[in-house]
Structure formats: structure tokens, C-alpha cells
Amino acid sequence: MTEDFEEDLAEPEPTVFEMTTKEIDITIIGIRSILTYYICGSCGKKAVQVGSLKCEACQMKQRIVATSKQWCAQLFVQNSNTSEHLNILVFHQHLRKMFQCNDKEFEWNENRDEDKITCVLLEGGKINVRQ
């Protein structure tokens, strides 16, 4: 018969994902700014409006369409776990995800404006963020 193993097992090494990913719950306290910008339909980089749109990267000129307009918001938030306050910048694709997480129906078309986005963001509850 063999003896029972009584020593402590070694702690597993954390994976790269575990070391670089942090998950927190935040509550939006305020909105510092909401900005719009345009993206190039070809390369996805920033485009400037000069009558039409002109991409700063690939130099392509293109007409302005609703899908080329993007939004970003600088938010003042509170970490629900530590009560720490943070400033975060949230770009268009993540703004859309935040609205979906809060079950907010929002039409991302020409009718969207800063006031509507502000109202939806401030009405939201806790949001889970993975960094």
C-alpha cells in the first residue's frame, strides 16, 4: 500500500490572457464629451470632411454616407468594486455594445445626436468592462 500525498500542490502559472486581462464593473457618473469622426470606406482609417470625405491614410476621396460617421465618448466612470473614479474613452463599436448590454434600442442613423446618446448612456446601470 502507498502513502497518501500530503504536500501542497504547486500553484499553476497564470496564462498571458489572465495577466493582461482585467474585468471590472463600472457605473457612468458623467460624460465629458461626445465626438463624431468619419472613417474611410476602403481602409477604415480616419477621414476628414472637405466637401466630400478624404482619407488621411490612403488619400481616397469618397462621398459621405451614414455608415462612415462614427461616435466616441469620453466618460467619467466609477469602478463599482473599489469606488475608484476613471476617465475612459469609448469608441463607436464599444458604444454600440454598451447600448446592447443595457437593452437600449437605439437607431444608429442620421437621426442620432449627442443629446440622445448622452441620455441613453446616463440612464444605463452597471456595465461590465474587460480590459
Task: Give the pLDDT confidence of 62-75 residue by residue, as tens digits.
Answer: 988 877 888 999 99
Q: At 33, is the pLDDT very low, low, confident or very high (cuts 50, 70, 90)?
A: very high
Determine contact, residues 32/76, Cβ cutoff 8 Å: yes
Measure the CA–CA gap between 61 and 41, rounded to whole angstroms.
10
Q: At 1, is the pLDDT very low, low, confident or very high (cuts 50, 70, 90)?
A: low
Determine contact, residues 75/88, Cβ cutoff 8 Å: yes
Helix axes 114-123, 92-101, angle to 10 degrees: 50
| C-alpha pair distances (Å), 64 with each of 45, 91, 96, 115 | 14, 20, 21, 22
- What pLDDT is attached to residue 23? 81
- Take residue 24 and report the three cell numbers written for it: 471590472
As a whole number, mean pLDDT of residues 31-59 equals: 90
The domain limits of the chain are: 23-130
Q: What is the overall mean pLDDT for the chain? A: 83
